[in-house]
Amino acid sequence: MLASGRGSNLQALIAARDAGQLPVDFVLVGSDKAGAGALDLARDAGIPTFTLNPKDFPSRQAYDFELFRRLDASGADMLVLAGFMRIIDGEALKPWVGRMVNIHPSLLPKYRGLHTHRRALEAGDAEHGASVHYVTAELDGGPVIAQARIAIQPGDDEHALAQRLLAHEHQLLPAVLRLVAAQRLALLPPDGVALDGRALAAPLQLRNGELVD
Ligand code: GRF
């Protein structure tokens, strides 16, 4: 896993594993920020961690190649971006396409990039949500696997909306990784997702904690 921030999604994955609801091993957590809360949570859970400071590298690509070298060396089958706040070089990530997912707080393809909650509010949207997608060279642009949707309520501000959505993110990411662990999901080039060998017509939807087609 890679994370830059507080790590609540990472914590949700660890909790799901500890509850016997996610049959995976977490082999390594990396961050670009030495002070990331995610690193403390990982250490508390006994997961090896590392930090790579972008300032120690001459270019984004040099940084990303070293990042992926370390992740490769961990023996990980799958890489989860859980609040990793960096754009990743397209060449460096190529070997991981189909084996790397990201959670993004919007109903993609709406609102790629930052400030998604604010943008949904400013647009007057009736609903908002989060997406888990395969990572490709296009920022927040890879095939969407699954989404969680919530209604925007009168009086919602950016903070309230983000907080309410987060609880759904914490169900969405473990639910997708359960499918990954069961080897039921695959990226279908160029921009599709297959579940049990069949192309999805639309992203799976989280309903009552379960993903439905
Ligand atoms: C989440 O909102 C996630 O969707 C986005 O970054 C945030 C990370 O939060 N990519 P946390 O560090 O997992 O608490």
Q: What percentage of the chain carries pLDDT values higher than 90?
A: 98
155 falls within a domain: yes
Whether residue 50 is contained in a domain is answered as yes
Of ligand 1's atoms, which has the minimum distance to the CA of residue 165?
A: 2
Overall domain count for the chain: 1
Check which CATH number belongs to the domain holding 205 and give it. Answer: 3.40.50.170
Which contacts of 191-199 are long-range, i.e. CB under 8 A and separated by 24 or more positions?
Answer: 191/142, 191/143, 192/143, 193/134, 193/143, 193/144, 193/145
Please list, in sequence order, all residues whose beta carbon lies within 8 angstroms of the beta carbon of residue 75, skipping any fewer than 6 positions away.
27
pTM above 0.95, yes or no: yes
Q: Using most ligand atoms within 8 A of CB, pick from 32, 88, 103 the residue to mutate for ligand 1.
A: 103
Residue 51 forms part of a structural domain:
yes
Is residue 2, in this structure, part of any structural domain at all? no
Confirm whether 107 is domain-assigned: yes
Q: Considering the domain boundaries, does residue 140 fall inside one? A: yes
- Between CA 131 and CA 184 the distance in angstroms is 18
pLDDT of residue 190 exceeding 90: no
104 is catalytic: yes
CB of 85 within 6 A of ligand 1: the answer is: no
Residue 10 CA: nearest ligand 1 atom is 13
Whether 86 is covered by a domain: the verdict is yes
Q: Which domain holds residue 150?
A: 8-212
| 137-175 per-position pLDDT tens digit | 998 999 999 999 999 999 999 999 999 999 999 999 999
1 is a domain residue: no
Measured over the CA atoms of residue 54, residue 58, residue 63 and residue 64, the dihedral's sign is positive
pLDDT digits (tens, 9 = 90+) for 34-93: 999 999 999 999 999 999 999 999 999 999 999 999 999 999 999 999 999 999 999 999
**What mean pLDDT comes out for the span 107-121?**
98
